[in-house]
Amino acid sequence: MPLGQVLYESGRTLSHAYLPTTSIVSLLYVMENGASAEIAVVGNEGIVGVSLFMGGESTPSRAVVQSAGQGFRLKSKAMKDEFNRAGPVLHLLLRYTQSLITQMAQTAVCNRHHSLDQQLCR
């Protein structure tokens, strides 16, 4: 996963889910005027493409490799099929989704209430 690689674009159908192992991926919210803001960061703890198994085919965010490294890529059908088996993977992905939502909430609060220096430390 090379630095700067766009894994998916805002509003486009997601064809794959990504599991970074040594890379880091930024999730950026893209506004109508093209401006963007980072809403979350995904590393080896997570998965890029949560909307695939949460019922959406696309997302308003863009995923960009922030730190080059390795990762795994799964076809969207394989991800959805495994999630729909309702086994241990479903529970793991739901717990990760909760932690991602928490990270996004903390980012929003940090961006609103902390100085720029404090935000950069995040």
CATH number at 66 reads: 2.60.120.10
Domains in the chain: how many in total? 1
CA torsion angle for 98, 20, 66, 33 (degrees, to 10)?
-50
Model pTM score: 0.86
pLDDT by residue for the chain (122 residues), tens digit each?
Answer: 999 999 999 889 899 999 999 999 999 998 888 888 889 999 999 999 999 888 877 888 899 999 999 999 999 999 999 999 999 999 999 999 999 999 888 888 877 777 767 666 66
CB half-sphere exposure, 64, CA atoms < 13 A: 14
The per-residue pLDDT for 119 is: 61
Amino acid, res. 73: R
Least Cα distance to 12 among 65, 82, 59, 67 occurs for 59
Instruction: Tell me if 112 is assigned to some domain.
Output: no
The per-residue pLDDT for 58 is: 80
Instruction: List the structure tokens of 14.
Output: 């997601």
Instruction: Tell me if 19 is assigned to some domain.
Output: yes
Instruction: Tell me if 120 is assigned to some domain.
Output: no
Instruction: Tell me if 114 is assigned to some domain.
Output: no
Task: Quote the domain boundaries for residue 17.
Answer: 6-107
Please classify residue 6 by burial: count the beta carbons closer than 10 Å to its beta carbon, then call 0-12 exposed, 13-18 middle and 19+ buried.
exposed
The per-residue pLDDT for 37 is: 87
